[in-house]
Structure 1
Amino acid sequence: MSNIVSINAQNFQQVLGETSQQKLVLLNFYSAQSPECINQAAILDKLAAEYNDYIVVANLDCDAEQALASQLAQQVGLQTLPTLVLLKDSAPVDVLSGAQAEAKIREALAKHLPAQQDLLLEQAKQALLKSDLNAAFNYAKQAYEIDNSNARIKLVLADICIQIHKVDEAQALINTIDVQEQDAYFNNIKAKCEAALEAKDSPEIKEKQQQVEKYPNNLELKEELSILLNEAGRKEEALDVLFTVLQKDLNFNEAKPSFLAIIASLPDGDALAAKYRRKLYSILY
């Protein structure tokens, strides 16, 4: 169900009553004839998408629903359009009269919604449930950038880092958790991290590295080593080995598709991805 609704005589009691018991309702008095109202509606649409689980935007067209608008206007002391009324538990908790900048509306929302880092952390958890590791990482990282002292945020981010093979970053986060905050979840993430660190330097990798050192011109051995390194989460080393293969033979076996696949597996905006894309372009063009 969309969290943007049009208010009318049939549904206003449910939305302003029942719905406001569950979510913060933004009752938007507006006129479709007013440019200021149209501009503010676009801001509300954006916020509705961003805070989908926490708010409902209830639009009341004062031209189309004049009787209802007049009735509700008396209750809130409406003087101008647009006017935004925030309702929680069936009662107004804030009124913004006149056209508002996005920052002002966000400021009002912040008084009645969970903190931004908590919202981002919840979004990270939801993305994890959907196995969308890229989105989960970005949400958790944003939450960490807002509050880098929150142990729960650090542990969720560490958990995600382990799953996307950023084990060293996960270890660094785990090392910052104070003793009094080391609960069962901490122990679970720590154990996962230790297992991932052990896998990074397996006997198979050491053996393959020795073979590559012995036969440095054997591109097939290098390709096999890159696979092992990537599986262990050592993505930069895997890319580096594959790049030496591509420098020798751009079309060798699956080297180029594997190289691109590793880059694609990195989170959006990852500096490592940008670095190795540039390196590949340097020999392609």
Structure 2
Amino acid sequence: MNMAINSMSNLVSINTQNLQQVLGETSQQKLVLLNFHSPQSPECISQIGILENLATQYKDYIVVANLDCDAEQALAAQLAQQVGLQTLPTLVFLKDSAPVDLLAGVQSDAQIREVLAKHLPAQQDLLLEQAKQALLKSDLNAAFNYAKQAYEIDSKNARIKLVLADICIQIHKLDDAQALIDTIDAQEQDAYFHNIKAKCEAALEATDSPEIKEKQSQVEQYPNDLELKIELSNLLNDAGRKEEALETLFTVLKKDLNFNEAKPSFLAIIASLPDGDALAAKYRRKLYSILY
């Protein structure tokens, strides 16, 4: 079945009807991998599997265009002449309607990725872009995970550090944000840096409110009043001081596991942390230690 290109799929079968669109218009927006193949050839079939996997991984950046040389003989012959086709499979990489690379014969996943890397943004840049897209959708958890992966690949990149710091401020990981901001060199301190730095300072200032100080002194005065500790924990959590909020609630739970809203509040704070957060794991373990 010949499939015309649509916005949903970046895997297409090439025919005379969609040739102009894919090799012309589509290659202006994405890198097109034109795959000359024969469904009779086992080597071609195994390579299509690799290409389908890459199409899923790089869906925003590439289009895999399969040309069945048995079904579309005239078209294949015409294009083969233009690219100097010698063998099947052959993979032609097209950007802005022009060939930019060619791989003749069967290729491994690694060999194809090596050529892709020459024409696509680096992996950390792709992850950073995904983090920004997730931020636009207010999906802070996904944004944090993408930015963190980008940071793990390139921990010296100032732009990645600042985007990660920005997300850390929004999920109230202010110590982490401050640590990232402190590592930005003077020559990289642009307008975006000053914006994030000011945001972090304002958030840190808000964390030490007069209400918190007053509640802390009440807790010191009446250390056995568990209700006061819950009130202090709520204030700390609202200010983004999640670790202190959890620690305060934990002192309540150690005294009385079923006191008021202590346990649901404790679990709600853990749930508000990003997936795989070390703080969440630490306080889950602490809770289990007194549950069992």
TM-score by length of 1: 0.90
SS of 1:111's equivalent in the other structure is helix
- Matched AA of 1:211: Q
Aligned residue for 2:201? 194
CA 1:249–1:34 in 2, change beyond 3 Å: closer, same or farther? farther
Distance 1:258 1:61 in 2: 60
Distance 1:49 1:190 in 2: 37
CA 1:251–1:31 in 2, change beyond 3 Å: closer, same or farther? farther
Partner residue of 2:119 out of 102, 107, 112: 112
Moved more, 121-130 or 170-179: 170-179
CA 1:225–1:107 in 2, change beyond 3 Å: closer, same or farther? same
CA 1:6–1:123 in 2, change beyond 3 Å: closer, same or farther? same
Distance 1:258 1:142 in 2: 30
SS of 2:119's equivalent in the other structure is coil
Moved more, 82-91 or 36-45: 36-45
Alignment of 1:106-255 (within 5 A): 106-255=113-262
Aligned residue for 2:67? 60
CA 1:235–1:27 in 2, change beyond 3 Å: closer, same or farther? same
Are 1:262 and 2:269 an aligned pair? yes
CA 1:211–1:31 in 2, change beyond 3 Å: closer, same or farther? farther
SS of 1:216's equivalent in the other structure is coil
Distance 2:104 2:287 in 1: 55
Distance 2:260 2:80 in 1: 72
SS of 1:60's equivalent in the other structure is strand
Post-superposition Cα deviations, 1:146-201, rounded to whole Å, max 9, x if no partner, equal 22332222211111111111111211221222223222212111111101111222
Are 1:74 and 2:85 an aligned pair? no
Aligned residue for 2:50? 43
Moved more, 106-115 or 242-251: 242-251
Aligned residue for 1:3? 10
Distance 1:90 1:67 in 2: 20
Aligned residue for 2:4? none
Post-superposition Cα deviations, 1:125-161, rounded to whole Å, max 9, x if no partner, equal 1111111111111222222222233222221111111
Distance 1:204 1:60 in 2: 69
Moved more, 187-196 or 229-238: 229-238
Distance 1:45 1:202 in 2: 55
CA 1:213–1:45 in 2, change beyond 3 Å: closer, same or farther? farther
CA 1:253–1:115 in 2, change beyond 3 Å: closer, same or farther? same
Cα RMSD, aligned residues only? 2.1
CA 1:61–1:190 in 2, change beyond 3 Å: closer, same or farther? same
Partner residue of 1:95 out of 80, 102, 105: 102
- Matched AA of 2:71: A
TM-score by length of 2: 0.88
CA 1:109–1:244 in 2, change beyond 3 Å: closer, same or farther? same
- Matched AA of 2:35: N
Aligned residue for 1:274? 281
CA 1:186–1:30 in 2, change beyond 3 Å: closer, same or farther? same
Unmatched segments (≥5 aa) in structure 2: 1-6
Post-superposition Cα deviations, 1:198-256, rounded to whole Å, max 9, x if no partner, equal 12222211222222222223222222222111111111111122222223333333322
Number of matched residues?
285
Distance 1:69 1:261 in 2: 60
Identity of aligned residues (%): 86
- Matched AA of 1:217: N
Moved more, 214-223 or 163-172: 214-223
SS of 1:257's equivalent in the other structure is helix
